[in-house]
A = this chain, B = another copy of it.
Protein backbone atom coordinates (compact mmCIF):
# COMPACT_ATOMS: atom_id res chain seq x y z
CA UNK A 1 0.00 0.00 0.00
CA UNK A 2 1.31 3.43 -1.01
CA UNK A 3 1.64 5.90 1.89
CA UNK A 4 0.03 8.52 -0.33
CA UNK A 5 -3.01 6.51 -1.45
CA UNK A 6 -5.53 4.46 0.47
CA UNK A 7 -8.37 2.46 -1.00
CA UNK A 8 -11.30 2.47 1.37
CA UNK A 9 -13.94 0.58 -0.53
CA UNK A 10 -14.22 -1.26 -3.82
CA UNK A 11 -17.31 -2.01 -5.85
CA UNK A 12 -16.75 -4.10 -8.93
CA UNK A 13 -13.69 -2.62 -10.57
CA UNK A 14 -14.41 0.83 -9.07
CA UNK A 15 -12.68 2.03 -5.94
CA UNK A 16 -13.31 4.80 -3.42
CA UNK A 17 -10.05 6.00 -1.95
CA UNK A 18 -8.05 8.83 -0.55
CA UNK A 19 -5.04 10.53 -2.11
CA UNK A 20 -2.92 12.16 0.57
CA UNK A 21 -1.14 15.34 -0.55
CA UNK A 22 0.70 18.12 1.27
CA UNK A 23 -2.35 20.31 0.69
CA UNK A 24 -5.04 17.99 1.92
CA UNK A 25 -6.57 14.59 1.43
CA UNK A 26 -8.56 14.05 -1.73
CA UNK A 27 -11.46 11.68 -1.92
CA UNK A 28 -11.29 9.59 -5.09
CA UNK A 29 -12.51 9.07 -7.72
CA UNK A 30 -12.01 12.78 -8.22
CA UNK A 31 -12.66 15.23 -11.05
CA UNK A 32 -10.07 18.00 -11.35
CA UNK A 33 -11.24 21.34 -12.84
CA UNK A 34 -8.71 22.84 -15.23
CA UNK A 35 -7.11 26.12 -14.14
CA UNK A 36 -4.68 26.58 -17.01
CA UNK A 37 -3.03 29.87 -15.98
CA UNK A 38 -3.61 29.67 -12.24
CA UNK A 39 -7.32 30.46 -12.60
CA UNK A 40 -10.32 28.30 -13.41
CA UNK A 41 -11.53 30.76 -16.01
CA UNK A 42 -14.03 33.19 -14.48
CA UNK A 43 -14.43 31.50 -11.10
CA UNK A 44 -13.06 33.08 -7.89
CA UNK A 45 -11.21 30.70 -5.60
CA UNK A 46 -13.75 30.97 -2.77
CA UNK A 47 -16.45 29.83 -5.17
CA UNK A 48 -14.29 26.84 -6.19
CA UNK A 49 -13.95 25.96 -2.52
CA UNK A 50 -17.70 26.26 -2.05
CA UNK A 51 -18.26 23.97 -5.04
CA UNK A 52 -16.15 21.35 -3.30
CA UNK A 53 -13.24 21.27 -5.76
CA UNK A 54 -10.58 19.23 -3.93
CA UNK A 55 -7.79 19.54 -6.47
CA UNK A 56 -7.35 21.64 -9.59
CA UNK A 57 -5.03 21.35 -12.54
CA UNK A 58 -2.49 23.89 -13.75
CA UNK A 59 -0.76 23.73 -17.13
CA UNK A 60 3.02 23.88 -16.88
CA UNK A 61 3.42 25.03 -20.49
CA UNK A 62 1.17 28.06 -19.96
CA UNK A 63 2.50 28.96 -16.50
CA UNK A 64 6.08 28.62 -17.75
CA UNK A 65 5.31 31.26 -20.39
CA UNK A 66 3.16 33.46 -18.11
CA UNK A 67 3.92 34.54 -15.40
CA UNK A 68 7.03 32.33 -15.55
CA UNK A 69 8.22 29.67 -13.12
CA UNK A 70 10.62 32.05 -11.41
CA UNK A 71 7.82 34.46 -10.49
CA UNK A 72 5.62 31.67 -9.14
CA UNK A 73 8.55 30.26 -7.14
CA UNK A 74 9.33 33.66 -5.64
CA UNK A 75 5.66 34.05 -4.68
CA UNK A 76 5.95 30.82 -2.65
CA UNK A 77 4.61 28.43 -5.28
CA UNK A 78 1.37 28.19 -7.21
CA UNK A 79 -0.84 27.61 -4.15
CA UNK A 80 0.18 30.88 -2.55
CA UNK A 81 0.43 32.76 -5.82
CA UNK A 82 -3.20 32.03 -6.66
CA UNK A 83 -4.36 31.76 -3.03
CA UNK A 84 -5.56 28.19 -3.36
CA UNK A 85 -4.97 26.19 -0.19
CA UNK A 86 -6.12 22.84 -1.56
CA UNK A 87 -4.28 20.42 -3.81
CA UNK A 88 -2.96 21.15 -7.30
CA UNK A 89 -1.73 18.88 -10.09
CA UNK A 90 0.40 20.17 -12.94
CA UNK A 91 0.82 18.41 -16.25
CA UNK A 92 4.32 18.14 -17.67
CA UNK A 93 3.86 20.59 -20.51
CA UNK A 94 4.27 17.78 -23.04
CA UNK A 95 0.70 17.71 -24.27
CA UNK A 96 0.55 21.49 -24.88
CA UNK A 97 3.92 21.50 -26.64
CA UNK A 98 2.54 18.89 -29.00
CA UNK A 99 -0.94 20.34 -29.46
CA UNK A 100 -0.13 24.07 -29.67
CA UNK A 101 3.14 23.97 -31.62
CA UNK A 102 3.28 22.92 -35.22
CA UNK A 103 6.97 23.87 -35.49
CA UNK A 104 8.20 21.73 -32.59
CA UNK A 105 11.33 19.64 -33.04
CA UNK A 106 11.66 16.45 -30.99
CA UNK A 107 15.10 15.00 -30.25
CA UNK A 108 16.36 12.49 -27.74
CA UNK A 109 17.15 15.36 -25.44
CA UNK A 110 13.72 17.01 -25.50
CA UNK A 111 11.45 19.30 -27.53
CA UNK A 112 12.32 22.63 -29.08
CA UNK A 113 9.21 24.77 -29.58
CA UNK A 114 8.02 28.29 -30.12
CA UNK A 115 5.73 30.19 -27.77
CA UNK A 116 2.17 30.47 -29.14
CA UNK A 117 2.15 33.98 -27.65
CA UNK A 118 5.15 35.68 -29.22
CA UNK A 119 6.97 33.05 -31.27
CA UNK A 120 9.98 33.04 -28.93
CA UNK A 121 12.09 29.84 -28.85
CA UNK A 122 12.04 27.45 -25.89
CA UNK A 123 13.16 23.96 -25.03
CA UNK A 124 11.54 21.42 -22.72
CA UNK A 125 13.56 18.41 -21.57
CA UNK A 126 12.59 15.83 -18.95
CA UNK A 127 14.93 17.67 -16.60
CA UNK A 128 13.74 21.23 -17.09
CA UNK A 129 10.05 20.28 -17.32
CA UNK A 130 10.48 18.59 -13.95
CA UNK A 131 12.43 21.59 -12.66
CA UNK A 132 9.53 23.83 -13.75
CA UNK A 133 7.04 21.61 -11.94
CA UNK A 134 9.12 21.61 -8.77
CA UNK A 135 9.25 25.41 -9.01
CA UNK A 136 5.48 25.69 -9.48
CA UNK A 137 5.12 23.40 -6.48
CA UNK A 138 1.98 21.43 -7.33
CA UNK A 139 1.20 18.46 -5.10
CA UNK A 140 1.15 15.99 -7.97
CA UNK A 141 3.43 16.46 -10.96
CA UNK A 142 3.77 14.50 -14.18
CA UNK A 143 6.68 12.92 -16.02
CA UNK A 144 7.50 14.68 -19.30
CA UNK A 145 6.15 12.46 -22.09
CA UNK A 146 5.57 12.45 -25.81
CA UNK A 147 1.85 12.28 -26.56
CA UNK A 148 1.76 9.96 -29.58
CA UNK A 149 -0.36 11.29 -32.42
CA UNK A 150 -3.34 9.37 -33.83
CA UNK A 151 -3.31 7.57 -36.16
CA UNK A 152 0.29 6.28 -36.08
CA UNK A 153 1.82 3.04 -37.32
CA UNK A 154 3.19 0.44 -34.94
CA UNK A 155 6.85 1.38 -35.39
CA UNK A 156 6.11 5.01 -34.71
CA UNK A 157 4.02 4.16 -31.61
CA UNK A 158 6.78 1.90 -30.27
CA UNK A 159 9.52 4.47 -30.86
CA UNK A 160 7.43 7.17 -29.17
CA UNK A 161 6.65 4.88 -26.25
CA UNK A 162 10.33 4.02 -25.82
CA UNK A 163 11.21 7.73 -25.83
CA UNK A 164 8.59 8.41 -23.14
CA UNK A 165 10.06 5.59 -21.03
CA UNK A 166 13.60 6.97 -21.32
CA UNK A 167 12.27 10.45 -20.47
CA UNK A 168 10.37 9.07 -17.45
CA UNK A 169 13.64 7.62 -16.09
CA UNK A 170 15.32 11.01 -16.51
CA UNK A 171 12.38 12.78 -14.80
CA UNK A 172 12.57 10.39 -11.86
CA UNK A 173 16.32 10.92 -11.55
CA UNK A 174 16.05 14.73 -11.72
CA UNK A 175 13.15 14.73 -9.28
CA UNK A 176 15.04 12.53 -6.80
CA UNK A 177 17.96 14.97 -6.82
CA UNK A 178 15.90 18.17 -6.65
CA UNK A 179 12.60 17.43 -4.92
CA UNK A 180 13.68 19.34 -1.81
CA UNK A 181 13.65 22.52 -3.91
CA UNK A 182 9.85 22.75 -3.92
CA UNK A 183 9.09 26.34 -2.82
CA UNK A 184 6.76 25.52 0.06
CA UNK A 185 9.41 23.24 1.51
CA UNK A 186 11.70 26.25 1.73
CA UNK A 187 9.28 28.16 3.92
CA UNK A 188 9.94 28.26 7.65
CA UNK A 189 7.35 26.24 9.54
CA UNK A 190 5.71 29.34 10.98
CA UNK A 191 5.23 30.76 7.49
CA UNK A 192 3.42 27.67 6.25
CA UNK A 193 0.75 28.32 8.85
CA UNK A 194 0.29 31.94 7.91
CA UNK A 195 -2.96 32.91 6.29
CA UNK A 196 -2.67 34.90 3.08
CA UNK A 197 -3.96 38.44 3.63
CA UNK A 198 -6.14 37.48 6.57
CA UNK A 199 -7.79 34.59 4.75
CA UNK A 200 -8.88 32.12 7.40
CA UNK A 201 -8.33 29.02 5.29
CA UNK A 202 -5.89 26.63 6.86
CA UNK A 203 -2.53 26.80 5.12
CA UNK A 204 -0.89 24.26 7.36
CA UNK A 205 0.78 21.63 5.22
CA UNK A 206 0.02 18.01 6.02
CA UNK A 207 2.21 14.90 6.02
CA UNK A 208 5.67 14.94 4.58
CA UNK A 209 5.49 18.01 2.34
CA UNK A 210 6.56 16.16 -0.75
CA UNK A 211 5.38 16.26 -4.30
CA UNK A 212 4.20 13.07 -5.99
CA UNK A 213 5.69 12.38 -9.43
CA UNK A 214 3.39 10.27 -11.59
CA UNK A 215 4.41 8.33 -14.69
CA UNK A 216 2.42 8.30 -17.93
CA UNK A 217 1.57 5.17 -19.89
CA UNK A 218 1.61 5.59 -23.66
CA UNK A 219 1.42 2.97 -26.41
CA UNK A 220 -1.19 4.39 -28.76
CA UNK A 221 -4.12 2.11 -29.60
CA UNK A 222 -1.99 -1.06 -29.52
CA UNK A 223 -2.80 -3.41 -26.66
CA UNK A 224 0.60 -5.10 -26.58
CA UNK A 225 2.41 -1.75 -26.49
CA UNK A 226 0.05 -0.41 -23.82
CA UNK A 227 0.78 -3.50 -21.69
CA UNK A 228 4.53 -3.12 -22.23
CA UNK A 229 4.40 0.63 -21.52
CA UNK A 230 2.47 0.01 -18.30
CA UNK A 231 4.82 -2.71 -17.09
CA UNK A 232 8.01 -0.80 -17.88
CA UNK A 233 6.67 2.46 -16.41
CA UNK A 234 5.79 0.59 -13.21
CA UNK A 235 9.36 -0.68 -13.09
CA UNK A 236 10.50 2.93 -12.76
CA UNK A 237 8.64 2.84 -9.44
CA UNK A 238 6.51 5.94 -9.07
CA UNK A 239 3.68 6.73 -6.62
CA UNK A 240 0.98 6.88 -9.31
CA UNK A 241 0.37 6.28 -13.00
CA UNK A 242 -1.55 8.11 -15.66
CA UNK A 243 -2.98 6.89 -18.94
CA UNK A 244 -1.97 9.38 -21.62
CA UNK A 245 -2.29 9.54 -25.38
CA UNK A 246 -6.07 9.10 -25.46
CA UNK A 247 -8.85 11.48 -26.57
CA UNK A 248 -6.56 12.42 -29.45
CA UNK A 249 -9.07 11.79 -32.22
CA UNK A 250 -9.78 8.07 -31.89
CA UNK A 251 -13.39 6.74 -31.67
CA UNK A 252 -14.83 6.78 -28.17
CA UNK A 253 -15.36 3.00 -28.13
CA UNK A 254 -11.65 2.55 -28.77
CA UNK A 255 -10.77 4.98 -25.97
CA UNK A 256 -12.86 2.95 -23.57
CA UNK A 257 -11.35 -0.32 -24.74
CA UNK A 258 -7.77 0.92 -24.30
CA UNK A 259 -8.57 2.44 -20.90
CA UNK A 260 -10.14 -0.79 -19.66
CA UNK A 261 -7.26 -2.86 -21.00
CA UNK A 262 -4.53 -0.58 -19.63
CA UNK A 263 -6.09 -0.40 -16.16
CA UNK A 264 -5.67 -4.18 -15.84
CA UNK A 265 -1.92 -3.67 -16.04
CA UNK A 266 -1.65 -0.89 -13.45
CA UNK A 267 -1.04 -1.62 -9.75
CA UNK A 268 -4.32 -2.02 -7.87
CA UNK A 269 -3.00 -0.19 -4.81
CA UNK A 270 -1.80 2.97 -6.53
CA UNK A 271 -3.69 5.97 -7.96
CA UNK A 272 -4.65 5.82 -11.63
CA UNK A 273 -5.16 9.04 -13.52
CA UNK A 274 -6.90 9.15 -16.90
CA UNK A 275 -5.86 12.37 -18.60
CA UNK A 276 -8.19 14.70 -20.48
CA UNK A 277 -11.62 13.01 -20.25
CA UNK A 278 -14.57 13.45 -20.62
CA UNK A 279 -18.34 13.93 -20.73
CA UNK A 280 -20.34 13.43 -17.51
CA UNK A 281 -21.35 9.97 -18.73
CA UNK A 282 -17.75 9.11 -19.55
CA UNK A 283 -16.28 10.17 -16.23
CA UNK A 284 -18.84 7.96 -14.49
CA UNK A 285 -18.00 5.05 -16.76
CA UNK A 286 -14.24 5.45 -16.30
CA UNK A 287 -14.70 5.62 -12.53
CA UNK A 288 -16.63 2.36 -12.77
CA UNK A 289 -13.66 0.83 -14.57
CA UNK A 290 -11.31 1.78 -11.73
CA UNK A 291 -9.97 5.22 -12.68
CA UNK A 292 -9.25 7.39 -9.63
CA UNK A 293 -8.47 10.81 -11.11
CA UNK A 294 -9.71 12.66 -14.19
CA UNK A 295 -9.47 16.15 -15.65
CA UNK A 296 -11.11 17.77 -18.63
CA UNK A 297 -11.62 21.24 -20.10
CA UNK A 298 -15.11 20.21 -21.23
CA UNK A 299 -17.20 21.66 -18.36
CA UNK A 300 -15.36 24.99 -18.38
CA UNK A 301 -14.91 25.32 -22.15
CA UNK A 302 -18.48 24.24 -22.92
CA UNK A 303 -19.75 26.80 -20.40
CA UNK A 304 -18.05 29.55 -22.37
CA UNK A 305 -19.99 28.38 -25.41
CA UNK A 306 -23.30 28.27 -23.56
CA UNK A 307 -23.42 24.47 -23.39
CA UNK A 308 -24.69 23.43 -20.00
CA UNK A 309 -24.89 19.99 -18.43
CA UNK A 310 -28.05 19.15 -16.51
CA UNK A 311 -29.67 16.11 -14.93
CA UNK A 312 -31.94 16.00 -17.97
CA UNK A 313 -29.23 16.31 -20.58
CA UNK A 314 -27.32 19.05 -22.35
CA UNK A 315 -28.80 22.51 -22.86
CA UNK A 316 -27.65 25.12 -25.36
CA UNK A 317 -28.67 28.22 -23.45
CA UNK A 318 -28.47 30.45 -26.51
CA UNK A 319 -31.63 28.93 -27.96
CA UNK A 320 -34.63 31.25 -28.28
CA UNK A 321 -36.84 28.68 -26.54
CA UNK A 322 -35.29 29.71 -23.22
CA UNK A 323 -35.88 33.46 -23.69
CA UNK A 324 -38.89 33.48 -21.36
CA UNK A 325 -38.25 30.27 -19.43
CA UNK A 326 -38.59 31.06 -15.74
CA UNK A 327 -37.32 27.65 -14.64
CA UNK A 328 -33.89 27.14 -13.12
CA UNK A 329 -31.30 25.64 -15.43
CA UNK A 330 -31.54 22.30 -13.60
CA UNK A 331 -34.32 21.79 -11.07
CA UNK A 332 -32.28 18.99 -9.47
CA UNK A 333 -29.16 21.09 -8.95
CA UNK A 334 -28.35 22.85 -5.70
CA UNK A 335 -25.65 25.16 -7.07
CA UNK A 336 -25.87 28.89 -6.49
CA UNK A 337 -26.75 29.49 -10.14
CA UNK A 338 -29.69 27.09 -10.18
CA UNK A 339 -30.81 28.38 -6.79
CA UNK A 340 -31.01 31.97 -7.93
CA UNK A 341 -31.32 32.53 -11.68
CA UNK A 342 -33.76 31.52 -14.40
CA UNK A 343 -32.98 30.07 -17.80
CA UNK A 344 -34.42 33.29 -19.27
CA UNK A 345 -31.82 35.37 -17.44
CA UNK A 346 -28.94 33.05 -18.33
CA UNK A 347 -30.06 33.09 -21.94
CA UNK A 348 -30.17 36.89 -21.91
CA UNK A 349 -26.67 37.13 -20.42
CA UNK A 350 -25.28 34.75 -23.04
CA UNK A 351 -27.10 36.40 -25.96
CA UNK A 352 -25.91 39.82 -24.78
CA UNK A 353 -22.29 38.63 -24.47
CA UNK A 354 -22.21 39.57 -20.79
CA UNK A 355 -19.17 38.33 -18.84
CA UNK A 356 -21.49 37.13 -16.09
CA UNK A 357 -22.74 34.46 -18.53
CA UNK A 358 -19.32 32.81 -18.52
CA UNK A 359 -19.00 33.12 -14.75
CA UNK A 360 -22.41 31.59 -13.98
CA UNK A 361 -22.29 28.95 -16.71
CA UNK A 362 -18.88 27.76 -15.53
CA UNK A 363 -19.99 27.61 -11.91
CA UNK A 364 -22.96 25.46 -12.87
CA UNK A 365 -21.06 23.07 -15.14
CA UNK A 366 -18.35 22.54 -12.54
CA UNK A 367 -21.00 21.99 -9.91
CA UNK A 368 -22.59 19.36 -12.15
CA UNK A 369 -19.29 17.53 -12.67
CA UNK A 370 -18.27 17.68 -9.02
CA UNK A 371 -21.73 16.56 -7.88
CA UNK A 372 -21.58 13.71 -10.37
CA UNK A 373 -18.31 12.51 -8.87
CA UNK A 374 -19.72 12.86 -5.35
CA UNK A 375 -22.60 10.59 -6.35
CA UNK A 376 -20.17 8.10 -7.85
CA UNK A 377 -18.16 8.02 -4.61
CA UNK A 378 -21.36 7.57 -2.64
CA UNK A 379 -22.43 4.68 -4.88
CA UNK A 380 -19.08 2.97 -4.44
CA UNK A 381 -19.21 3.49 -0.68
CA UNK A 382 -22.60 1.72 -0.67
CA UNK A 383 -21.07 -1.13 -2.64
CA UNK A 384 -23.23 -0.44 -5.65
CA UNK A 385 -21.68 -1.66 -8.87
CA UNK A 386 -24.20 0.13 -11.06
CA UNK A 387 -23.86 3.87 -10.97
CA UNK A 388 -26.48 6.63 -11.18
CA UNK A 389 -26.18 6.93 -14.96
Contacts and interface: CB of A to CB of B under 8 A. Distances in A.
B197 A341 contact: yes
Contacts of A326: 75
A67 to B, nearest CB: 4
A38 B348 contact: yes
Given A75-B344, A324-B75, A344-B75, A356 B42 contact: yes
B42 A82 contact: no
Interface string A56-74: 0000000000110001001
Contacts of A120: none
A340 B199 contact: yes
A247 interface: no
A45 interface: yes
Nearest to A336: B46
Given A197-B342, A326-B75, A355 B358 contact: yes
A37 interface: yes
Contact of A360 (B44, B71, B328, B336): B44
Interface residues of A, number: 44
Contacts of A339: 197-199
A163 interface: no
Interface centre among A42, A74, A197, A341 (most CB of B within 10 A): A197
Given A197-B338, A341-B83, A42 B324 contact: no
A105 to B, nearest CB: 27
Interface in A308-359: 323-324, 326, 328, 336, 338-342, 344-345, 347-349, 351-352, 354-356, 358-359
Interface in A158-191: none
A156 to B, nearest CB: 35
Contacts of A44: 336, 356, 359-360
Nearest to A82: B345
Interface in A27-68: 37-39, 41-46, 66-67
Interface centre among A71, A324, A347 (most CB of B within 10 A): A324
A296 interface: no
Interface in A104-122: none
A81 interface: yes
Contact of A340 (B41, B197, B340): B197
A248 interface: no
Given A37-B352, A67-B348, A354-B39, A197 B328 contact: yes
A196 interface: yes
Nearest to A362: B355
A16 to B, nearest CB: 30
B340 A196 contact: yes
A356 B326 CA distance: 28
Contact of A348 (B37, B197, B336, B348): B37
Interface in A336-389: 336, 338-342, 344-345, 347-349, 351-352, 354-356, 358-360
Given A67-B351, A75-B344, A344-B81, A39 B324 contact: no
Contact of A345 (B38, B46, B74, B324): B38
A347 B81 CA distance: 11
Contacts of A354: 37, 39, 41
B71 A324 contact: yes
B71 A323 contact: yes
Interface in A83-116: 83
Contacts of A351: 66-67
Contacts of A323: 67, 71
Nearest to A81: B345
27 contacts: A37-B348, A38-B345, A39-B349, A39-B354, A41-B354, A42-B355, A42-B356, A42-B359, A44-B336, A44-B356, A66-B348, A67-B323, A67-B348, A67-B352, A71-B324, A71-B348, A74-B324, A75-B324, A75-B342, A75-B345, A81-B344, A83-B340, A197-B328, A197-B338, A197-B342, A199-B340, A355-B355
